C-alpha cells in the first residue's frame, strides 16, 4: 500500500536532489574539514558553500550560521547562551504553545531558579501583543517565541515582537523550525537575534539543525569542544548532512512559490471539503495567519487515535492532538492553551502537506475520511446527544 503522507510537520522525506548531493560525502569526500591535508581540507570549501545556501534562504550572512545536531539543540543553545552571557538577568518570556524543546527547557529553568512568563493565546492561537509588551521587565534576559506553531500552523508576529524586545535591550530568539522553507524570511530586515532550524522539516535528513546568531549578539557555546563553527559549537562537522541541508535550503527557496500557491490550494481544498462533508467539524487556529501547508481540524465526539488508525488502514498518515496519542493522557497543550472544548480537542487531526503531495492524494482523503468519522460516531455514546443539542 502506498503511503499518503500528510504528516510533514512531523518529518519530511529527504528530497532526491538532497540525497544525491550528500552521497559523495559518505564514501569519496569523507575527510575531516579540520585536517591539514587536501583530502580533508577541501571539505572546508564545500561547507562554506552549504553555509551560504542556508544564509541565502534566511537573508543572513554565512558567518551568522552555526550548524547543530537538531532543532532542539538550537533552542537549548540559544536560551542557555542568553542566560549565561547575562548572568544578572533571571527572567524569560515565552508562550504556552511552544514546542517541548523550549517548553520543557523553561520548566527546567524554573527549577534552576529562573522566572518564566508563559504568555497565553486566544481561542485562535494568537498572542495579545499588549500583554507581551507588559511582560517585558528590566530583568528579562530573553524572549523565545515560535515563528509558526507545529500543531496549528498559526504564525506569531515575531518580527514585530523582536522589534519591541530590541527597544528594551532584550535578546530575541525564535524557534522557526516549522516556518523556514514555508514562508519567506529575511533576517537582515528584522530585529531577531537568534533563530532555530531543523533539517528534517524541510527535506534534509534528521540529525542536522542550524542556530542563526546575529552578528554582535553575545554568544556562549552550549556544546564545548573543538574550534569548529568558530568555537561556537564543538564537534566534528556532520559534513553529509550539512551539504544536504544546504541543498534543501536552495530547493526551499525555489519551491517557496509552489508552497504558497499549489500546496496552499491543496490544503484549502482538503480543509474546505472536509468541513463541508463532515458535520460538527471545525478548524483550530487563526486561518488567516497560518502556514500554507497545515490544517488542524477537530471532529466532534470522536477520538483522534481511532481516526488515525482507521486512516492508517488506507495508508493515510496524519497526527492527532488527542490524549491517547500524546502519551500524557491529556490532549495537546496547544489546544488546551487555546481553550478548545474537550469534545473537540480529543478529535483533532493535523494534516500537514508538502510539495510532494498530489491532487489525487487529497481527493482520496476527501473520499475516505467522512465515512471513517461516521463509523466512529455510530460507536460514540455522545453523537446522538450532539445531534439533538445541535452543538457545534
Is residue 389 flagged as an active site residue?
no
324 is a site residue for other proteins (CB under 8 A) = yes
Find the radius of gyration of the CA atoms of the chain: 22
118 is a site residue for other proteins (CB under 8 A) = no
In the complex, what is the shortest distance from the CB of residue 313 to other proteins, in angstroms, rounded to a whole number? 7
> Closest CB to other proteins among 143 and 334?
334
* 332 vs 325: CA distance, rounded Å: 9
Among 23, 107, 224, 379, binds other proteins (CB under 8 A): 379
- What torsion do the CA atoms of 348, 146, 187, 45 make, to the nearest 10 degrees? -90
381 is a site residue for other proteins (CB under 8 A) = yes
389 is a site residue for other proteins (CB under 8 A) = no
224 is a site residue for other proteins (CB under 8 A) = no
56 is a site residue for other proteins (CB under 8 A) = no
| DSSP code of residue 64 | G
305 is a site residue for other proteins (CB under 8 A) = yes
In the complex, what is the shortest distance from the CB of residue 304 to other proteins, in angstroms, rounded to a whole number? 8
Residues between 359 and 378 that touch other proteins (CB under 8 A): 378
Which segment (73-81, 116-124, 297-305, 360-368) binds other proteins by CB under 8 A? Answer: 297-305
* Tally of CB atoms within 10 A around 296: 32
Q: What DSSP assignment string belongs to 118-137?
A: EE-B-TTS-B-HHHHHHH--
Active-site choice (70, 249, 317, 324) = 324
Q: Where are the beta strands (DSSP E) in 259-345?
A: 281-283, 294-299, 316-317, 319-320
> Closest CB to other proteins among 156 and 351?
351
Give first-to-last CA distance, the chain, whole Å.
Answer: 35
391 is a site residue for other proteins (CB under 8 A) = no
Chain position carrying cell 523553561: 106
> Closest CB to other proteins among 311 and 365?
311
* 375 vs 330: CA distance, rounded Å: 24
380 is a site residue for other proteins (CB under 8 A) = yes
* 63 vs 60: CA distance, rounded Å: 8
* 332 vs 330: CA distance, rounded Å: 7
- Residue 322 burial by CB count (10 A; 0-12/13-18/19+): exposed, middle or buried? buried
Which segment (62-70, 257-265, 351-359, 380-388) binds other proteins by CB under 8 A? Answer: 380-388
> Closest CB to other proteins among 151 and 250?
151
> Closest CB to other proteins among 283 and 324?
324
Among 244, 321, 331, 370, binds other proteins (CB under 8 A): 331
314 is a site residue for other proteins (CB under 8 A) = no
113 is a site residue for other proteins (CB under 8 A) = no
Strand-strand pairing, 4-5 and 316-317: parallel
Among 93, 142, 270, 302, binds other proteins (CB under 8 A): 302
323 is a site residue for other proteins (CB under 8 A) = yes
Backbone angles phi, psi at 282, to 5 degrees: -155, 155
Q: What is the spatial order of strands in the sheet that 171-175 belongs to?
A: 65-68, 209-213, 194-198, 171-175, 140-144, 91-95, 115-119
In the complex, what is the shortest distance from the CB of residue 343 to other proteins, in angstroms, rounded to a whole number? 5
Binding flags for other proteins, 332-361, as an x/- string (CB under 8 A)? ----------xx--x---------------
> Closest CB to other proteins among 10 and 223?
10
> Closest CB to other proteins among 181 and 331?
331
For residue 290, the SS3 value is strand
* 74 vs 222: CA distance, rounded Å: 9
Residues designated as active site: 324
Binding-site ranges for other proteins (CB under 8 A): 301-306, 309-310, 313, 322-324, 327-331, 342-343, 346, 378-382
Amino acid at each position: 500500500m502506498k503511503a499518503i503522507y500528510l504528516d510533514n510537520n512531523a518529518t519530511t522525506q529527504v528530497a532526491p536532489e538532497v540525497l544525491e548531493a550528500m552521497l559523495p560525502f559518505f564514501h569519496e569526500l569523507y575527510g575531516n574539514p579540520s585536517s591539514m591535508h587536501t583530502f580533508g581540507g577541501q571539505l572546508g570549501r564545500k561547507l562554506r558553500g552549504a553555509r551560504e545556501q542556508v544564509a541565502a534562504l534566511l537573508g543572513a550572512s554565512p558567518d551568522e550560521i552555526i550548524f547543530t545536531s537538531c532543532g532542539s539543540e538550537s533552542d537549548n543553545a540559544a536560551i542557555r547562551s542568553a542566560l549565561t552571557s547575562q548572568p544578572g538577568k533571571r527572567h524569560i518570556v515565552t508562550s504556552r504553545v511552544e514546542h517541548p524543546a523550549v517548553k520543557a527547557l523553561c520548566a527546567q529553568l524554573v527549577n534552576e531558579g529562573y522566572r518564566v512568563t508563559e504568555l497565553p493565546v486566544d481561542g485562535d492561537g494568537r498572542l495579545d501583543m499588549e500583554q507581551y509588551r507588559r511582560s517585558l521587565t528590566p530583568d528579562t534576559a530573553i524572549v523565545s517565541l515560535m515563528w509558526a506553531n507545529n500543531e496549528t500552523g498559526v504564525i506569531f508576529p515575531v518580527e514585530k515582537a523582536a522589534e519591541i524586545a530590541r527597544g528594551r535591550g532584550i535578546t530575541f530568539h525564535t524557534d522557526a523550525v516549522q516556518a523556514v522553507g514555508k514562508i519567506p524570511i529575511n533576517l537582515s530586515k528584522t530585529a531577531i537575534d537568534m533563530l532555530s532550524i531543523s533539517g528534517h522539516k524541510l527535506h534534509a535528513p534528521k540529525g542536522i539543525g542550524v542556530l542563526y546568531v546575529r552578528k554582535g549578539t553575545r554568544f556562549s557555546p552550549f556544546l564545548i569542544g573543538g574550534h569548529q563553527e568558530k568555537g561556537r559549537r564543538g564537534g566534528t562537522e556532520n559534513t553529509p548532512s550539512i551539504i544536504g541541508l544546504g541543498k534543501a535550503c536552495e530547493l526551499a527557496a525555489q519551491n517557496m512559490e509552489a508552497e504558497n500557491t499549489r500546496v496552499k490550494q491543496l490544503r484549502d481544498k482538503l480543509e474546505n471539503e472536509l468541513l463541508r462533508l463532515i458535520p460538527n467539524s471545525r478548524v483550530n487556529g487563526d486561518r488567516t495567519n497560518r502556514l500554507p501547508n497545515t490544517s488542524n481540524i477537530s471532529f466532534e465526539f470522536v477520538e483522534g487515535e481511532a481516526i488515525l488508525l482507521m486512516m492508517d488502514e488506507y495508508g493515510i498518515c496524519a497526527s492527532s492532538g488527542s490524549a491517547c496519542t500524546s502519551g500524557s493522557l491529556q490532549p495537546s497543550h496547544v489546544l488546551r492553551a487555546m481553550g478548545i472544548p474537550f469534545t473537540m480537542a480529543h478529535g483533532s487531526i493535523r494534516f500537514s502537506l508538502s510539495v510532494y503531495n498530489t491532487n489525487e492524494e487529497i481527493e482520496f482523503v476527501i473520499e475516505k475520511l467522512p465515512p471513517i468519522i461516521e463509523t466512529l460516531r455510530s460507536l460514540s455514546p455522545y453523537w446522538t446527544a450532539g445531534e439533538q443539542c445541535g452543538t457545534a
